[in-house]
Every structure is written in structure tokens, then in C-alpha cells.
Amino acid sequence: MTLWQGRFGDDRSDELKALNDSLGFDVRLFREDIAGSRAHVRMLGKSGLLDSSEVTSILDALDQVESEIGEGSFEFRPEDEDIHTAVERRVTELTPAGAKLHTGRSRNDQVATDLRLWVKSAIDSTLHLIIELEKIILRRAEADGHASLPGFTHLQRAQPVTLGRHLLAHGWALSRDFDRLLDARRRTDVSALGAGALAGSGLPLDPEVTASELGFDAVFDNTLDAVSDRDFVVESMFALSLLGVHLSRIGEELVIWSSTEFGYVRLSEDYATGSSMMPQKANPDVAELARGKAGRLIGNLTGFLVTLKGLPLAYNKDLQEDKEPLFDSFDTIGLLLRAVAGMIETLRFDIRRMAEAANDEYLQATALADWLVERGVPFREAHRIIASPRARSGGSSRPCDGRPPEKQAP
């Protein structure tokens, strides 16, 4: 039975079903959906729309549905369009009072509420993983932070920096990602339940009660906005995309640093792979995928932004397209954060190799110019003196191939 059988009968074309049904992916929302239904039913009881025995029997049925789905014994039916339909169908099988569960509610306010609950907890798990990665970066910076290496601009050796300062640069980017997700969480923390299909309900519902029961910080202000707003999906996918971009920069750096040419790090075998053909290879796959997955995260974000663009108020089925990219972005970032943390925790820095590179005397050019400045030479003049071919080659000119000159006899 479909939820709208009263109007259309029971037949649906295979194409409609294949295109329209979202159960395959929104089954992930079953706990949130059941939590939303519990809050809704209790509120209906308080408002006098259900009597206490109806409330109790629906709550019991919801408990049973939750354990059936949780343990895998729930029998989904072909007519279960989405998780909301499946739960309500089963509750109604278990108790006649189930027919009152959807009183004053629409799947439009229901799905928005479910998804907000899901995103809040997904953000919390991601925040936790960011802290874990930050802790590992901090530990490595504390242990080996005194080492020096060349800092780069344009991927050309620029000035020496300490490894600690370099590593913590990534740590600061991650701390902004943390803030951004926390900020997105604040706007996610708003209940949509009570907004109905788009215009609320003429029944005496109390959206404040359901919101506080579900642990939301606030209640919607406008019913049309409540059912059509997916800013919280976009904002969290943006915060995850930028976090992914930061992880891609760490990944790229480790690809470069682990190359034979650089040799600044050796990746643990647990985080590298061999080549099927070349026995000597240890490939930095985790680092490469940290770099590559950013494209997928950005694709999820831009794809859904395009879906939203130009949508008329209020709910449209296009909005069902929010879930797959959202779930994928949180799954992808969770995996990446764990993998990058493990890779950084287990890699070995070749501090000697870094120090050799940092001892390149060309890296002291700016310090030398500053030394002249302290002795009264105007900076532009000091820069010219140090940059002159004579100074650079220790007296003779040399081709600008980026290599230090041959040592000259004094």
C-alpha cells in the first residue's frame, strides 16, 4: 500500500518506482525517523489528539520497528517508497492506533527533521575525527618539530623553516574546518517538525514540544522555509569540501616528500602499496587518494547546488537528491580523516635529509639581505646586492638552474 493509495490505487510503473523510491539510501535515516515519530506521538498525546493508550501502543510499535530494522529482520515491501513509508506501514500493521501516527504531519517536515538530526550527529563524529588528526599532527610537531627543512614558495626553496611550524600550518587549517562545521551545525540545529506539507496544520500541534524532545536548539520560523530549506546540507558539504581540499594539500605534500627526489619522509608500509610490475615501488596511495577525493567532495557540493538552483517554493521531489551526495561526503571525509591520521602517525621523517636541504646557503639570501639592512643598507639595495649574479655565484655567473654553484676556491 502506498501512502497516497486513496487517490491513485496501488499501481506504479516500474520506471516510476525505480526513479522515485529512495528507500535504498534513506534507510540510513531509520533511527532519526523513529526518534521523530516518538516525539511527534508524545506531542499528539499532550495536545489531546491521541489518548494515552494510543500513545503507548504506537511507542511500543516504534520500539519494535527500530529493533527489527536494527537487527535486519524487518521485511521491506516493494511498496515501501522510502524509510518514512516503511516505518509507518509497519507501525500500522502492529497496532490499529498506527493509523493516527501521521496526524498533522507530512513527509516534507518529517524528512527535513530526520535529515537535520542525522547531519548534527554526522558533524559531531567528523569534529571528533578532526580533533584526532590534530592531536597526531601536534604530537609529531612536538617530537620532531625542531628539525629544519626548506620552506617553499612556487615549490622553489625559499627560506628555512622548522618542521614544527610547517606541520602546524596544516593544523591551523584544520582548526578553521572545525569552526566552520561547528557553525554549520548551529544552523542545522533547528526543528522542521510541525511545518506540515508547507503550511503547518490546523490541528493544535506544538512544534516547540517536539523540537525540545528531539534536542533541537530552535524551531522553524516559517513553514514554507522549513520544508524547502536545504542550506544546512549545502553548508556542511561545503565545510567538508574545504576540509577535503586541506587534506588534498597534505596528501600532495606527502606524495612529493616521499619521492626519491625529496626523500623527506618514508611512509609506513601499512599506508603504501606496492606495484604489480615494479618490485622496488612503494606507492603513496593514501596520500594520492587524500588528494584525489577532494574532487568527489566538491562534485557532491556543486551537483546539489545545481539541483537547488531555481527550485520554486516549497517542497519539490528534487530535494530527495540531497541525501546521496550528503551521505557520500560524510562517509568519504570520515574515511579520509582516519586514513590521513594513520599515515601521519606512522610515517618516518628523514630529518637528516631535510637538514641537508635546509643548509643550502641560498636559503639564507633573505637573512643576508636583512643583515645588510641592519647595517644601514636600504632593503632594495640589499636585495640587489644579494641577488646579483656575482653574489649568487660567489664571483662568477652561472646558469639559473636552481642548483647551488660549485664551491669556489677562496
- Tell me which residues in 303-322 interact with ligand ARG (CB under 6 A): 315, 319-320
Q: What residue spans of 95-206 are helical by DSSP H? A: 107-144, 163-188
Least Å distance, CB 213 to ligand ARG, is 21
Burial (CB < 10 A; 0-12, 13-18, 19+), residue 123, is buried
Nearer to ligand ARG, 264 or 315 (CB): 315
Nearer to ligand ARG, 319 or 341 (CB): 319
# binding residues, ligand ARG (CB under 6 A)? 9
Q: Which three cell numbers stand for residue 197?
A: 506539507
Least Å distance, CB 85 to ligand ARG, is 8
Decide: is 108 part of the binding site for ligand ARG (CB under 6 A): yes
Nearer to ligand ARG, 243 or 319 (CB): 319
Least Å distance, CB 107 to ligand ARG, is 4
Least Å distance, CB 315 to ligand ARG, is 6
Nearer to ligand ARG, 305 or 377 (CB): 305
Piece of 91-99, 107-115, 170-178, 328-336 that binds ligand ARG (CB under 6 A) = 107-115
Least Å distance, CB 127 to ligand ARG, is 26
Least Å distance, CB 23 to ligand ARG, is 8
Closest CA to 366 of 110, 163, 161, 203: 161
Piece of 41-49, 104-112, 173-181, 268-276 that binds ligand ARG (CB under 6 A) = 104-112
* Most distant pair of Cα atoms in the chain: their distance: 100
Piece of 103-111, 289-297, 299-307, 394-402 that binds ligand ARG (CB under 6 A) = 103-111
Decide: is 22 part of the binding site for ligand ARG (CB under 6 A): yes
Closest CA to 107 of 14, 212, 4, 232: 4
Nearer to ligand ARG, 163 or 319 (CB): 319
Angstrom distance (rounded) from CA 247 to CA 261? 22
Query: Can you give the length of the chain in residues?
Result: 410
Q: Which helix (H) or strand (E) holds 151?
A: strand 148-153
Least Å distance, CB 65 to ligand ARG, is 17
Residues 6+ apart with CB under 8 A from 231: 187
Q: What residue spans of 189-284 are helical by DSSP H? A: 207-213, 223-228, 231-257
Q: Which helix (H) or strand (E) holds 219?
A: strand 218-219
Residues that are catalytic: 154, 275
Decide: is 126 part of the binding site for ligand ARG (CB under 6 A): no
Residues 6+ apart with CB under 8 A from 253: none
Exposure on the CB side of residue 258, measured as CA atoms within 13 A: 25
Angstrom distance (rounded) from CA 163 to CA 141? 7
Dihedral over alpha carbons 388, 393, 397, 402 (to 10 degrees):
-90
Q: Which helix (H) or strand (E) holds 191?
A: strand 190-191
Nearer to ligand ARG, 257 or 315 (CB): 315
Q: Which helix (H) or strand (E) holds 289?
A: helix 285-308
Nearer to ligand ARG, 84 or 140 (CB): 84
Q: Which helix (H) or strand (E) holds 159?
A: strand 156-162
Q: Which three cell numbers stand for residue 281?
A: 615501488
Q: Which of 107, 140, 230, 293 binds ligand ARG (CB under 6 A)?
A: 107
Least Å distance, CB 95 to ligand ARG, is 23
Closest CA to 20 of 317, 327, 229: 317
Q: Which of 43, 111, 301, 343 binds ligand ARG (CB under 6 A)?
A: 111
What one-character-per-residue DSSP string does 247-266 give? Answer: HHHHHHHHHHHTSTTT--EE
Nearer to ligand ARG, 92 or 248 (CB): 92
- Tell me which residues in 28-87 interact with ligand ARG (CB under 6 A): 82
Residue ranges that bind ligand ARG, judged by CB under 6 A: 22, 26, 82, 107-108, 111, 315, 319-320
